Structure 1
């Protein structure tokens, strides 16, 4: 059974068609790259998979359960879509701790380990409002992985990262794949897609077209 099953999905915004009769299956343990020009629907596709938006027709099934108003957010998903909202006057650690308290799955030590893993200093008192774009991106990655989420939906995870941080993030993603996690990502850099992805799809004429 596919981890994520998208069947005959139509989606439009303000009269503009985004997807038409879209069918797509995601298998566990692979890295999928989603490509396409700006505005083609990459973020919308990810939002459909996460239950942030619903199809106009068709269905999205995750782990055998259809996403709808009574089952919105899949379990065990780590997500970067758009830029996460943070409490500007708090430190990065305090922001992540507030998020971790929602489920209560991890403690302070795991948060600190994850921050160090992505290249942030957990003891730093710097407020998030004073973070650089690259630091905010690392914080976004940290929140997506800190609870060992088994499915990662990463929309432009390399955005604003310097070369060393890009390499570190690539290694992390590859490690997660080796551990059996499932990852879907977008990137404006074709090299990221070529190096990491088992399968690559391009959004073309309101559908997904396999290119690798």
Structure 2
């Protein structure tokens, strides 16, 4: 189990993470989503003890990670697959970690087999590894100590479609055996397929948090007007995400009542206003994070 309680991280006048709270529960895959610069990596680094919170706290299995003896046996972490010693072989990388954790050498072979790295590949220097091979080696390292918790940041980068499907099955099996998975990725369709719970952040704050089933079945509003640009701006300024649907209408997680009041205040004539069902994680993501991404809102 992972618990983040009111995590805040400031760098001078800049607040990278602002009062973030959520839980990742055993037996479930929790997706951690947000646009670039949203604060995902900083939050995960604070949970792992690699960055000190300005305020708030994070615990794994009830303790800060720094207080867990032999943390590699409790928590498997993959934050950057490229952070591997280029001069070592894959096998040497795992053997050194196994030695430091007091694990038998047989655990190295088991980890390599579990992630699909062959004996020949494991004898190669990691400088020659493809990104996909680095991801597999990083995951083998995370799994080496047979942990109860996995924290993974973009683990599917560099994997081909078969590798992505393999990754999905591995994570589902891990959670199915009672493990806790906190997974960050920009592959929204894959996240929708594998995640039980979702945490969406933007601008350093939690924008949505709950079960994937509840969030993806939540209503959205579709609206057309005689001045969509002004309406989109009014919705954004009120803190609501806005996107342009394929049929040309605007979509927003704001209720029809909220949209109507904003349109009235801005003296905008509406030509269509109706509640609609969410169209999936991609739509939820863009509706929720539109005011916090790099791209401009639809108008």
Secondary structure of 1:7 counterpart: strand
Q: Is the Cα–Cα contact under 8 Å of residues 115 and 139 in structure 2 kept in the other structure?
A: yes
Q: Is the Cα–Cα contact under 8 Å of residues 153 and 183 in structure 1 kept in the other structure?
A: yes
Separation (CA, whole Å) in 1 of partners of 2:3 and 2:116? 35
TM-score by length of 2: 0.64
Separation (CA, whole Å) in 1 of partners of 2:198 and 2:167? 19
Q: Offset at 1:30?
A: 1.3
Q: Offset at 1:38?
A: 0.9
Separation (CA, whole Å) in 2 of partners of 1:111 and 1:177? 22
Matches within 5 A, 1:39-58: 39-58=37-56
Q: Offset at 1:72?
A: 7.6
Q: Is the Cα–Cα contact under 8 Å of residues 92 and 122 in structure 1 kept in the other structure?
A: no
Separation (CA, whole Å) in 2 of partners of 1:66 and 1:147? 18
Tell me: CA distance 1:6–1:111, structure 2 relative to 1, closer, same or farther (3 Å).
same
Q: Offset at 1:73?
A: 8.1
Residue among 137, 151, 163 paired with 1:165: 163
Secondary structure of 2:119 counterpart: coil
Tell me: CA distance 1:72–1:207, structure 2 relative to 1, closer, same or farther (3 Å).
farther
Secondary structure of 1:168 counterpart: helix
**Which of the pair has more CA radius of gyration?**
2
Q: Offset at 1:21?
A: 2.0
Matches within 5 A, 1:78-89: 78-83=76-81, 85-89=83-87
Choose between structure 1 and 2 for higher RCO, CA contacts under 8 A separated by at least 6 residues.
1
Are residue 111 (structure 1) and residue 123 (structure 2) matched?
no
Tell me: CA distance 1:77–1:66, structure 2 relative to 1, closer, same or farther (3 Å).
closer
Separation (CA, whole Å) in 2 of partners of 1:126 and 1:64? 39
Secondary structure of 1:164 counterpart: helix
Secondary structure of 2:137 counterpart: helix
Q: Is the Cα–Cα contact under 8 Å of residues 22 and 209 in structure 2 kept in the other structure?
A: no
Question: CA-to-partner distance for each residue in 1:65-105, whole Å, 9 max, x for gaps?
Answer: 346xx638883110011235323222111111011111112
Separation (CA, whole Å) in 2 of partners of 1:88 and 1:43? 23
Secondary structure of 2:67 counterpart: coil
Are residue 62 (structure 1) and residue 60 (structure 2) matched?
yes
Q: Is the Cα–Cα contact under 8 Å of residues 39 and 203 in structure 2 kept in the other structure?
A: no
Are residue 71 (structure 1) and residue 67 (structure 2) matched?
yes
Secondary structure of 1:65 counterpart: coil
Q: Is the Cα–Cα contact under 8 Å of residues 7 and 18 in structure 2 kept in the other structure?
A: yes
Question: CA-to-partner distance for each residue in 1:20-41, whole Å, 9 max, x for gaps?
Answer: 2222222222110011111111
Matches within 5 A, 1:1-212: 3-66=1-64, 71=67, 75=71, 76-83=74-81, 85-107=83-105, 109-124=106-121, 125-208=123-206, 209-210=208-209, 212=212
Tell me: CA distance 1:30–1:39, structure 2 relative to 1, closer, same or farther (3 Å).
same
Which blocks of at least 5 consecutive residues in structure 2 are unaligned?
Answer: 213-299
Q: Is the Cα–Cα contact under 8 Å of residues 9 and 55 in structure 1 kept in the other structure?
A: yes
